Chains A and B, each alone.
Chain A
Amino acid sequence: MDSWRTVKVLQREKICNMYRIVFLNDKMASIKHKNAKRIEGLDKNVWVAFTSVAADPSIVNLGQGYPDIPPPSYVKEGLAQAAMVDRLNQYTRGFGHPTLVKALSKVYGKVYDRQLDPFKEILITVGGYGSLFSTMQALVEEGDEVIIIEPFFDCYVPMVKMAGGKPVLIPLRLVGYSADWVLDQKELASKFNSKTKAIIINTPNNPIGKIFSRSELQAIADLCIKHDTLCFSDEVYEWLVYKGHEHVKIATLPGMWDRTITIGSAGKTFSVTGWKLGWSIGPDHLIKHLQTVMQNSLYTCPTPLQEAVGQGLLREFELMGKPDCYFTSLALELEGKRDRMAAMLRQTGMTPVVPEGGYFMIVDVTALNQDLSHMGDDEPYDYKFVKWMIKEKVFCFQFEKYIRLCFIKQESTLDAAEAILKSWNKG
């Protein structure tokens, strides 16, 4: 039950803000073997802690964001074919395999409606995560403030801190009957100052599933331009957009191309999170700094995987806008699963926040009024709820009074989740 210790530690960190686990080993407690300051306090990671839970086959895993549906077969075949070519088992171009960067420049050239230089305006990284890291290391340092919108994908804050920057948080707030999560414009404007280096946006958003509208992005863009700041736009779920909504790239707004790094993910695009390939797209004068980080950190990404993703993108390029384009068909498939999960949750009396895009749905659990007094006294309700859920064999994440469920799962997984949720009704 390693995960519980970590949950408890996270909880104490939240309250006390200064909890540290000191690892004692008297044979080797050398002061000189101490960690560098840049990683001080960054050792906790909620994903790492829950791996053992995720690996338990008896638990219905709606926690971590990865599909249990297979990737498209032509993508797997593409990898098998690539692995058979001698040259594709050896190093490729450091900043991105030519087949892949050229394919990306084609696909995104169409999306951005501009000519993208595959060699100067695109960098291939180890997942969207690696793109975020390269961006922070390249462009953020001590003295810089970075605005982060809450709730946020958890790595943004530690990455800003590791780069020496200061995270400045602003929450999305729930307003109105339509339950829209929005930024307060005055509040947002107040977060910008002369030290602001960048703002990070994530659309479609993890965990809420909000897609920022054109006017919301314009408001952010206006502030970026006014204060001469950068924008790091995490758009890994860009293709997973549900009916009635449109994904808008902030980099396409006037004045934004030159100051925006846009991050994408092969893992989320092709349902192959375990391939760990992503990309940063932006102007040459910014991308070159990310390339410097790349050449001094891991130098190059795996070749056969890049070849296969490149071939996959070229295939999808031909089908873009058509129903059998994977970008379209996956979104359609997921919309069905999204609606099914929302219905399941409503039946138990909970109120799901139906997402406009992405993999996740958050749901307010207070209506369930689950009696958790048997789970122990010393923890807040939300932590006890997650623990209770795992006892009930359903795994998910939480923040405040919400839990976050991932619905990119096969029907049998959703069946199992439904059965468990139905049993709560009776309980």
Chain B
Amino acid sequence: MSRKLHARRIEAIDKNIWVEFTQLAADYKAVNLGQGFPDFSPPSFVQEAFCKALNGGFSMHQYTRAFGHPNLVKILAKFFSRIVGREIDPMEDILVSVGAYQALFCTFQALIDEGDEVIIVEPFFDCYQPMVMMAGGTICLLYLRLKCCGPVLSSADWVLSPEELASKFSPRTKAIVINTPNNPLGKVYQREELQMIADLCIKHDVICISDEVYEWLTYDGTKHVKIASLPGMWERTVTIGSAGKTFSATGWKVGWAMGSGHILKHLKTVHQNSVYHCATAAQEAVAVGFQREYDVFGTEESYFHQLPIHLHEKRLRLADCLKSVGLKPILPQGGYFMIADISNLNVDLTDPSTKDEPYDYRFVKWLIKEKGLATIPVSAFYSPEHRNEFQKYIRFCFVKEDTTLQAAEDILRQWSDSK
């Protein structure tokens, strides 16, 4: 065919680090601390719920309600009403999506037009930028910056400058995207930080898109605060959640967007013109999971209580190991990931196929190919314009079985000893 075929909206968004790096990890059969998924099973009560659902009569295998399986939206509304402190309408205020990823997609497609500005905080989960671009929006970037340098670094040390934040808001600003707990840093925004963002959203009448997929995973007593619960914010916030991250079942791809009906209705329009429904049985199983968690919320039996405790130890263990081999980890307050500074290592990266790439990309590829350990380069979480300034960090996922973490440690120690 002689003519140009593809639509302009997909220009410049064809590269994707996950496609590249998951393939590489698979090709080299690397110990995978790269992509963010657990290598242990979902909790048994949720697996049992799934099996029960698929044996539950013909309706479990046929279309359900387009905007979300009734059992699921009802329990999500009940569950989160208690947390947010307001009555959430299951039919108006919630949209179930194919993972949080599709909820983000619906949000941008529904609300962003050409000429709209969207504020994104770097480092960011990589899909925000291409999604805004695909919707024709313009990205306004600002950084989380390291406020101090000490021996023990925490994600809490990465902060926004109030002046810089305020300067990004303009009459064309349609939305700001925040992610807390943050991927890749692990930062958990404090109430005061969220209030600062909220004040600006209200002042400039801007929508807040709050990606909270790791909301149950906070450590060291850090509290996750929902920006939608701050005064004046419910009516202008879309909160994104994930059953995959909540129940360690990323492969089920069940997520949701939650917010005031007058905004959610636009996401629903995108949804009904793109995928229309999500898989029924998985939604039923997630509903059963949430009902169980609703009943035991706050108790020791709750998975939302047990999982962070479980991961707390893994996080510390990995941090200690990284320190012992000369890497400088940033201890995360929340989430699945830990980033580490690799600038002290002097590795001879002579692979000619990577010579034009940022240092961290080259290092990660070397680590996969030469040592069989997969991680993700953190400059992938920066905009292409700024990538070169942030080439010295790599990201580890610690939500893994102890055997996996042990295998990673063995590789790192062996490498360190051989130097």
Q: List A residues at the B interface (Cβ < 8 Å).
A: 23, 25, 27-28, 30, 32-33, 35-39, 42-43, 45, 47-48, 51, 55, 64, 66-71, 76, 79-80, 83-84, 86-95, 126-127, 129-130, 133, 137-141, 155, 158-159, 162-164, 228, 230, 258-259, 271-276, 285-286, 288-289, 292-293, 295-305
Contacts and interface: CB of A to CB of B under 8 A. Distances in A.
Contacts of A71: 58, 61
B279 interface: yes
A89 B251 contact: yes
Contact of B273 (A133, A299, A304): A133
B273 A155 contact: yes
Contact of B7 (A32, A139, A303): A139
A35 B266 contact: yes
A32 B39 CA distance: 43
A104 B206 CA distance: 46
B154 interface: no
A164 B67 CA distance: 24
A32 B60 contact: no
A301 B47 contact: no
A259 B1 CA distance: 7
Interface residues of B, number: 85
Interface stretch (B8-16, B191-199, B338-346, B352-360): B8-16
B307 interface: no
Contacts of A42: 269, 273
Interface in B75-112: 97-99, 101-102, 105, 109-112
Contact of A138 (B6, B37, B55, B131): B6
B24 interface: no
Given A83-B50, A84-B47, A286-B5, 9 more contacts: A45-B66, A70-B58, A79-B281, A91-B250, A95-B19, A289-B7, A292-B13, A296-B13, A302-B98
Contact of B10 (A48, A86, A137, A300): A137
Contacts of B16: 94, 295-296
Interface of B: 1-3, 5-10, 13-14, 16, 18-19, 22, 35, 37-42, 47, 50-51, 54-55, 58-67, 97-99, 101-102, 105, 109-113, 116, 127, 130-131, 134-135, 174, 205-207, 235-236, 248-253, 260, 262-263, 265-266, 268-270, 272-282
Contact of A76 (B47, B61, B62): B61
Contacts of B265: 23, 43
A80 B54 contact: yes
Nearest to A40: B269
B54 A76 contact: yes
Contact of A275 (B130, B276, B279): B279
5 contacts: A47-B272, A70-B58, A230-B5, A276-B278, A297-B105
A352 to B, nearest CB: 24
Nearest to B275: A126
A91 to B, nearest CB: 5
A87 B249 CA distance: 9
A291 to B, nearest CB: 8
B9 A297 contact: no
A39 B273 contact: yes
A69 B105 CA distance: 34
Contacts of A55: 65
Contacts of B64: 274
> A-B pairs with the 9 shortest C-beta distances?
A303-B251, A274-B280, A141-B7, A298-B102, A35-B266, A90-B37, A126-B275, A289-B6, A66-B62
Contact of B251 (A38, A126, A159, A304): A304
Nearest to A297: B105
B307 to A, nearest CB: 15
A30 B206 CA distance: 10
Nearest to B272: A45
